[in-house]
Homo-oligomer: A and B are copies of this chain.
Amino acid sequence: MELLMILAPVAALVALGYALFVALSVKKAGEGTDRMKSIAASIRRGASAYLKRQYKTVGIFFAVVFVVLIVLAFGFGLVNKFTPFAFLTGGILSGLSGFIGMNIAVSANVRTANAAEKSLNSGLRIAFRAGSVMGFVVVGLGLVDFSLWYFITTYAFKMSPEAVTNAMITFGLGASSMALFARVGGGIFTKAADVGADLVGKVEAGIPEDDPRNPAVIADNVGDNVGDVAGMGADLYESYVGSLLSAAALGYAALGNILGIVIPVGIAAIGIFASLIGTLFVRTGEKLSSKSLLKALRRGTYIASAISALGSLAFILLVDIDHYFLFFAMLIGLVAGVAIGFFTEYFTSDNYRPTKNLAKSTQTGSATEIISGLSLGMLSTVLPVLIVAATIIVSFLVCGGTVEDPKMGLFGIGIAAVGMLSTLGITLATDAYGPIADNAGGIAQMSDMPEYVRERTDALDALGNTTAATGKGFAIGSAALTALALLSSFINLVDSETLNLSIMNPAVLIGLFIGCMLPFLFSALTMSAIGKSAESVVLEVRRQFRDMPGLLDGTVDPDYHTCVDLCTKSSLKQMILPSIITVCAPILVGLLLGISGVAGMLLGSTSTGFMLAIMMSNSGGAWDNAKKYIENGNFEGKGSQNHKAAVVGDTVGDPFKDTSGPSINILIKLLSIVSIVFASVIAAFPSIF
């Protein structure tokens, strides 16, 4: 049985090998004219500059935490002695996957634009294949990290499986911390640049979007890459590794043997093969409409899901026919992920009634559109909650969990989380496709490519909006399930016998209230961070328009670099406070209220964070698409009063959907993992109850 653990590194190598192969083939495609090359180079330089500075900031953070962990581990024995080192590998591998994913994305955008000149399909293929590099690097490196520590602790240190799983559950801290910087920092960067570029360029100077005369335009394009590609990748890397680690820990606790680890790892490995096969089916005939392009992407995802389910069924029957029911937990998780994605699309795509009605509400002005959009976002929380609830119920009960002896049931929930994320390779490919297509459109605009090319990149971009919305739904759904699995692991880890986790325990109650408040506080901080960062961009763009006379005529090139630099500095500075709060909250609550209080806090932040993240993402997505719907000629079209109202909605939605909403995913997972790592520290102090 132990031999089956070899599946993890094998699948990792397959994923990385495939990613390398695809990356090389993308790089071979042509980059187009010199103008295009020069713009692409600016974006690439900006993105690299951001990443470099981000890694420097992250480096300081990692160094401090590493020292703290070393002291706690070797000085006080309060933290597992592998944790400090696993913290580093997690951070490095997560950072590496972001680095690779973003590099291929900034290489692919110009190639997508160039390929779109040939045909719509060539453009789609380049963008999707580049996205799949990101997808497979994330799952590949995630499994590398997992395998590395599994084999080191098991074979080099001869630790028991129980000790291995309990130690490894703390190993997600590195990936989580990196995700915080990538998702939150990148999110602030991208929206500060976007808002700054729009406010001065579009509104004040009256030049179109993506106009090369706008000094912030490159920063805006860089933002798409650092926020939407690297941020999304780090977010899901964390979910992937977190769900795997917690499922393994819950599995060993439930089954009492190595099968509890082998089964989740097997499901993950099979998911990689399934995703790989799925991507091969994403091919398109000539001259497809945007709708049938979506179908092509969906076909790939559905095929991957089917193969993943059948493969997992076969695998489970093969290794442990007595626990055949674990398959149903995996299946419900997989289906739940797809279902949440679908309902996200329903609420945010202009093919359906909610967004059409939202566009209609612009007829009575921007205020009513804002109210309708907020109301839409709130309403859209209902189905995802019911889906998650059903997933928990089914995966818990089907695995034989009872209130008295929940261990098997909790393992079921862990397996559901792994099932949901099993096809991450292809799901993430579809997500990362979006910003690449978006950037390709920007490059086409800036390099004055023919009208028909821009129409094609617009079509690709529109498809990207849909996949971005479903991707966000999937990201928050998987984050919630992962956080719940981590919460179960946390409680398993501490001495759960003596723990009073009743909701009538005031420690739990107060912890829960504080937990519910954290997503609100976090969102407030990320939203005001964007405002502050955007302000500095606005001032800089105004300065350039004022001080560089030839700029608006196009005779002088703007100073792109300064804007990129400003966004970089400002976003990294603005994310310090939310980061500190996230890392310190579990420790402070723990010192005050003890382990029970922390458990309450985790549940509160996960549940409320889930609602708030869905609401913000969906309101934002719907506002964006309502604006596009009007721009496509509905409700009096572009330039009308209705359109102006829709632009206000879209601007409000930007930080909602691209920064604050998705950042909550990180918040809830990081709170869980910090609690797990510092559990012994918290338990070492007396609480007030």
Contact = CB atoms under 8 A, between A and B. Distances in A.
Contact of A403 (B367, B488, B689): B689
B607 A520 contact: no
Interface string A357-388: 00001001111101110111111011001101
Contacts of A491: 504
A392 B509 contact: yes
A514 interface: yes
B393 A652 contact: no
A286 to B, nearest CB: 41
B392 A500 contact: no
Given A365-B199, A385-B517, A608-B608, A393 B512 contact: no
A232 interface: no
A593 to B, nearest CB: 9
Contacts of A377: 524
A244 B281 CA distance: 66
A622 to B, nearest CB: 13
B506 A364 contact: no
A503 B379 contact: no
B510 A389 contact: yes
Nearest to A609: B516
A637 interface: no
B389 A524 contact: no
A604 B600 CA distance: 11
B517 A393 contact: no
Contacts of A368: 195, 531, 651
Given A389-B513, A403-B505, A531-B368, A521 B379 contact: yes
A3 to B, nearest CB: 34
A575 B510 CA distance: 33
B527 A374 contact: yes
Contacts of A406: 504-506
Given A371-B531, A514-B389, A517-B381, A376 B524 contact: yes
A187 interface: no
Contact of A364 (B367, B379, B538, B649): B538
Nearest to A655: B371
A599 interface: yes
A688 interface: yes
A279 interface: no
Contact of A611 (B404, B520, B652, B688): B520
A501 interface: yes
Interface in A493-549: 500-510, 512-514, 516-517, 520-521, 523-525, 527-528, 530-531, 535, 538
Nearest to A491: B504
B382 A648 contact: no
A532 to B, nearest CB: 11
Nearest to A409: B506
Nearest to A535: B364
A397 interface: yes
A512 B652 contact: no
B521 A381 contact: yes
A182 interface: no
Contact of A501 (B382, B409, B502, B688): B502
Interface string A275-292: 000000000000000000
Contacts of A516: 385, 516, 607-608, 610-611
A366 B531 CA distance: 13
A268 interface: no
Interface string A654-683: 010000000000000000000000000000
A580 interface: no
Contacts of A389: 510, 513-514
A313 interface: no
Interface in A593-628: 596, 599-600, 603-604, 607-608, 610-611, 615
A607 B610 contact: no
A607 to B, nearest CB: 4
A558 interface: no
A410 B503 CA distance: 12
B503 A504 contact: no
Interface of A: 195, 199, 203, 361, 364-368, 370-372, 374-379, 381-382, 385-386, 388-389, 392-393, 396-397, 401-404, 406, 409-410, 484, 488, 491, 500-510, 512-514, 516-517, 520-521, 523-525, 527-528, 530-531, 535, 538, 596, 599-600, 603-604, 607-608, 610-611, 615, 647-649, 651-652, 655, 688-689
Given A367-B649, A371-B530, A516-B516, 12 more contacts: A365-B648, A370-B370, A371-B655, A378-B520, A378-B527, A382-B517, A392-B510, A402-B689, A403-B505, A501-B502, A607-B608, A608-B608
11 contacts: A199-B364, A361-B531, A366-B366, A371-B655, A372-B527, A374-B527, A375-B528, A376-B524, A397-B688, A513-B607, A516-B611
